[in-house]
Amino acid sequence: MAELDMARTDAGLETAGKVDVTWQDFGVEPPNMGFGSVVGAGSIEFFRKFTK
C-alpha cells in the first residue's frame, strides 16, 4: 500500500508519503541473528520539496 500527500506552497510543491515493503520485494531473506528476529515487512517514508 502507498500513501501520498501533496501541497502547493509559495516556494513550490511539497510531497510526503509512505510505501509498504517487504524484504522479499528485494530478493532478500530477513536476517536471523539467533537471539531475536527481524520483522519481514516495514515501510519507507519520504518527504520531498520541489522549488521554483
For 28-47, the pLDDT digits (tens) are 888 877 887 788 888 999 99
Cell of 37: 528476529
Position 15 in a domain: yes
Cell of 47: 518527504
pLDDT score, position 19: 94
8 A C-beta contact, residue 39 and residue 32:
no
First to last CA, the chain: 30
Position 39 in a domain: no
**Residues spanned by the domain of 9:** 1-31
Is residue 6 predicted with pLDDT exceeding 90?
yes
Is residue 1 predicted with pLDDT exceeding 90?
no
Number of domains in the chain: 1
Is residue 23 predicted with pLDDT exceeding 90?
no
- Which candidate, 19, 23, 14, 12, places its Cα nearest to that of 43? 19
